[in-house]
Amino acid sequence: MEVNDALIDNLSNLARLEFNASEKESIKKDLEKMIHFVEKLGELDTTGVEPLLHMSPEINVLREDIPQGSVSREAALSCAPVTDGQYFEVPKVIRK
C-alpha cells in the first residue's frame, strides 16, 4: 500500500484533524512503518494456530448477586441541595 499525501489528507479529513507539512511527513513515515509491520506479519506461517477469540480462557465470569441494603429516602434527600421533601429537584433540561 502506498502512503502518499492524498491518503494523509483523506485520513486527516476523516479524523477531523489538521496537520502542517512537517507533521504530514512524520505521519507518513509512521504509517509506512505500521504498514510494513503488518505486511511482515503476513509472512508468518500460521498453520495449525487457532484464532484468538478472547484474551483469557475465562468466559462470562460474573459475580454473585448478593442483595444488600440501600440508602433510605431521608438519608439520600438530606445530601441533596434542593428537594421538595419527597423528590430531588433538578433544573429543567428538556425544551418544548
Report the predicted TM-score, pTM, of the whole model to 2 decimal places: 0.48
Domains delineated in the chain: 5-41 (1.10.20)
Per-residue pLDDT of 15-54, as tens digits, reads 999 999 999 999 999 999 999 999 998 888 989 988 888 7
Residue with the bigger pLDDT between 96 and 49: it is 49
Confidence of residue 60 (pLDDT cuts 50, 70, 90): confident
> Of residues 57 and 82, which shows the higher confidence score?
82
Task: Give the Cα separation of 7 and 1 in Å (integer).
Answer: 10
What's the rounded Cα separation, in Å, for the pair 53 and 37? 22
Q: Reply yes or no on whether the pLDDT at 1 is more than 80.
A: no
Structure letter (DSSP) for residue 43 = T
